[in-house]
Amino acid sequence: MFLFCIHHFEAASPWQLHQFMFERKFGQLYGAVPVELPSLEVADKLREKVRWRTFEKFGFAFPEQIHEDEDYHIYHFSPFFKRQKTPFEEWNWHTKHGSGDDFYTRVEDGWEFQDAKFAILTWDEAVDEWGCVEVAAARRNYDVWKQSADALQDKPDDHSFFCLRECEEIAAYIPLPEVTANPESESEQSEPPAATERKEKAMKNVTDWLFAYARAVEIIVETFKKTGENFRFTTLARQLEDEGWKPEGTNRFNKDLGEQKDIRSLYDMIRTRPPKTDAEKYAQWESDFDERTRLYFERLIQGDREGLIDYAEEYAVKKKLLTGGK
């Protein structure tokens, strides 16, 4: 079983994006789909075939994203290249105060450029690179897209997910080698201690992130109800850390929160709320906001659908803290 992964790279210019993708093997995981294939060699051939089919479908880049005033001649376009607005104003703020070597924090005009790579990994390799929460979220995002209106179009707007779907559909026609089962030998095999320890660590990691996001939702609601203002990702991250909800293994907690789709959607929802002078529209928006935060919080505290945290030791304790002992 292989995991086909689309991961994105972002930078302030085509030249920087070209350099960024050359220097770094992996970017930000966007979508993933598990595919059963007979060998890595077959999987690699499928990757090339699917990428070529995506290019045949869409051509080089998004045509509407090509502008004469940009230095594009240095960049080799792909079916995934596009020009887009940056999602956070804070990125410009980071530019003025120094931001390390992350290209995407150097955006100065509000625009950035994005491209994607296509990786074939095992589940363990993907988890080592991105973490089990991000891998699970990438798989869910792709499954959600397959049910969307965009997926029904002849030329979907989301080229990355189109590529994953082509991979999944073509792989369904590739026969697997026949394997003779040996029940006795299978029953005698036991999971090595290292694998068990790895799973337990993964369970705890997923638990920590899910409950951190759940507590973040509570803080977002509390902040808005108390002040009527939107939250800041840096302030949110600091409060979560002070309360002991920050997961281990991250030194970019505020960015992790900002890149989490549902947390970001709450930020955008508050930012675009209607004025209170329009009482009817504001009342409807407030009702929608309360319902969205309630559903999202409940989904988080129920745990991961993949079953990774069913046996996590801290699950019951943290859930009790978040639900007031219920």
Q: Please say if the pLDDT value at position 307 is more than 80.
A: no
Residue 310 has pLDDT above 90, yes or no: no
**If you average pLDDT over residues 235-247, what whole number do you get?**
90
Question: Which own/partner contact pairs does 189-192 have at CB distance under 8 Å and 24+ positions apart?
Answer: none
Are the C-beta atoms of 257 and 237 separated by less than 8 Å? yes
Residue range 178-198: average pLDDT?
54
Across 216-230, average pLDDT? 91
Question: Which helix or strand (DSSP H or E) is residue 4 part of?
Answer: strand 2-11
Q: Which two tokens stand for residue 138?
A: 């990438």
Q: Which residues of 92-103 are buried (b: 16+ CB within 10 A; e: fewer)?
A: eebeeeeeeeeb
The burial class, CB within 10 Å (0-12 / 13-18 / 19+), for 219 is middle
pLDDT in tens, 270-305: 999 998 888 899 999 999 999 888 888 877 766 543
Mean pLDDT is highest, among 101-110, 256-265, 283-292, 309-318, for 283-292
Q: Is 160 exposed, middle or buried (0-12, 13-18, 19+ CB in 10 A)?
A: buried
Q: Are 54 and 162 in contact (CB under 8 A)?
A: yes
In the predicted model, what is the mean pLDDT of the chain? 76
Q: What is the pLDDT of residue 181?
A: 53
Q: Of the candidates 48, 269, 274, which has an alpha carbon nearest to the alpha carbon of residue 163?
A: 48
- The burial of 185, by beta-carbon neighbours within 10 Å (0-12 exposed, 13-18 middle, 19 or more buried), is given as exposed
Two tokens at 274? 């209607």
Over residues 18-68, the pLDDT tens digits come to 777 878 888 889 999 999 888 888 888 888 888 888 888 877 655 455 555
User: What pLDDT score does 219 carry?
Assistant: 92
Q: Give the three-class secondary structure for 189.
A: coil
Is residue 167 within 8 Å of residue 46, measured between CB atoms?
yes
Helix (H, G, I), strand (E, B) or coil at 172: coil
Give the separation between CA 211 and CA 20, rounded to whole angstroms: 33
**pLDDT at 90 exceeding the cut of 80:** no
Q: What is the pLDDT of residues 100-153, one digit of tens each?
A: 444 334 445 566 788 888 889 988 899 888 988 899 999 999 999 998 998 998
Asked whether the predicted pLDDT for residue 225 surpasses 80, the reply is yes
Taking the alpha carbons at both ends of the chain, their separation in whole angstroms is 40
Determine what percent of the chain is predicted with pLDDT higher than 90: 18
